[in-house]
C-alpha cells in the first residue's frame, strides 16, 4: 500500500496524487482489468488500496467521470461505462484518402439510412414531407446550374433522418457530415460528376425515395434507399477499381 506516495517520491516530484491515481485507474480500465459494467472498489477501499485520502479518490473519479469512462451512482457504487475516454470519437478517424474507408462508411450509412427511410415513411409529418421535397428541388437546381451537388445531397438525406422524429438519426448523419458524401468530384469523379446520365440516375433514385416516403410506403422507402446507397457503393467501388488499374498502367 501507499504505493502512490512511494511512486511519487520515487519519481522527480511532480505528478500529483490525483493525477497518478487517475492514470492508474484509466490503465486498469482500458486494460480490461476493470471491465465495462464492473463496479470500481468503493471510495473507502480505494483510499485504503492506494494510501490516499478520500479527497484524492473523489477528484480522480470526478476526472474519469468527465471523460465519460465511469458513472457513479449514489448508494450503489462507481461503474465503468466505457473502456476508452469518450473524448475521442472513433468514427471520426475516417481516412478520407483511402477509398476502402469510404466504402466502409457507405455501408454503415446504408444501415442507418435504410431504417431512417422506413421510419420516415411511417412517421413523417406534412411539414417534414414538404421539407424533403424542397431539398429534392434544391438538389435539382444545383444540378441544373452546374453547382456542387454534395451539400444539397446531404441536405436531402438529413431531411429524411429528421422525418424519423428521432433526433439520433440526424445526429448520426451530421456527425459523419460531408465525409458521408464522399469526394467524387475531387478524387477522380470530376468527369463523372458532370455526367448527365449519372446525374439523372441520381435524381431518379432520390425521387423514388421521396415518393415512397410521401406515400407512407415503408417497404418501398426502404428498398429505394437501399438501392440508392448500394448504387453509390457500387459506383465508388468502380472508381476504386479504375484508379488502381490506372495506377498499374502508370507504373
Interface residue list for its own copies (CB under 8 A): 18, 22, 35-38, 55, 58-60, 62-68, 71, 73, 76, 80-93, 96, 104-105, 107-108, 110-112, 114-116, 119, 148, 150-151, 154, 166-169, 171-172, 174-175, 177-179, 186
The half-sphere exposure of 151 on its side-chain side, counting CA atoms within 13 A, is 6
61 binds DNA (CB under 7 A): yes
- Residue 129 within binding range of DNA, rule CB under 7 A: no
Site pattern 180..199 for DNA (x: CB under 7 A): -----xx---x---------
Mark the segment that binds DNA (CB under 7 A) among 14-22, 96-104, 195-203, 205-213: 14-22
What φ, ψ does residue 26 adopt, rounded to 5°? -60, -40
Q: What is the largest CA-CA distance in the chain?
A: 73
Alpha helices (runs of H) in the chain, residue ranges in sequence order: 3-10, 17-30, 43-50, 54-67, 99-123, 126-145, 150-162, 167-176, 184-187, 190-193, 196-214, 218-250
Cell of 202: 441520381
Residues near DNA (CB under 7 A) are: 5, 13, 16-18, 40, 42-45, 51-56, 58-59, 61, 72-78, 185-186, 190
Amino acid at each position: 500500500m501507499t504505493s502512490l506516495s512511494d511512486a511519487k517520491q520515487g519519481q522527480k516530484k511532480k505528478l500529483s496524487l490525483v493525477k497518478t491515481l487517475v492514470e492508474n485507474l484509466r490503465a486498469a480500465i482500458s486494460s480490461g482489468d476493470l471491465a465495462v459494467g464492473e463496479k470500481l472498489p468503493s471510495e473507502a477501499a480505494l483510499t485504503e488500496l492506494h494510501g490516499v485520502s478520500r479527497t484524492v479518490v473523489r477528484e480522480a473519479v470526478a476526472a474519469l467521470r468527465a471523460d465519460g469512462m465511469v458513472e457513479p451512482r449514489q448508494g450503489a457504487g462507481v461503474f465503468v461505462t466505457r473502456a476508452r475516454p469518450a473524448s475521442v470519437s472513433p468514427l471520426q478517424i475516417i481516412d478520407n484518402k483511402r477509398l476502402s474507408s469510404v466504402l466502409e462508411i457507405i455501408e454503415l450509412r446504408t444501415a442507418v439510412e435504410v431504417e431512417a427511410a422506413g421510419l420516415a415513411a411511417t412517421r413523417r409529418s406534412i411539414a417534414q414531407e414538404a421539407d424533403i421535397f424542397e431539398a429534392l428541388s434544391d438538389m435539382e437546381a444545383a444540378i441544373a446550374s452546374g453547382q456542387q451537388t454534395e451539400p444539397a445531397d446531404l441536405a436531402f438525406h438529413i431531411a429524411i433522418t429528421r422525418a424519423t422524429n428521432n433526433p439520433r438519426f440526424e445526429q448520426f448523419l451530421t456527425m459523419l457530415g460531408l465525409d458521408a458524401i464522399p469526394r467524387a468530384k475531387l478524387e477522380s469523379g470530376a468527369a463523372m460528376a458532370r455526367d448527365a446520365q449519372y446525374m439523372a440516375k441520381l435524381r431518379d433514385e432520390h425521387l423514388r425515395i421521396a415518393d415512397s416516403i410521401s406515400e407512407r410506403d415503408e417497404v418501398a422507402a426502404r428498398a429505394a434507399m437501399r438501392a440508392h446507397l448500394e448504387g453509390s457503393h457500387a459506383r465508388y467501388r468502380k472508381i476504386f477499381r479504375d484508379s488502381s488499374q490506372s495506377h498499374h498502367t502508370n507504373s
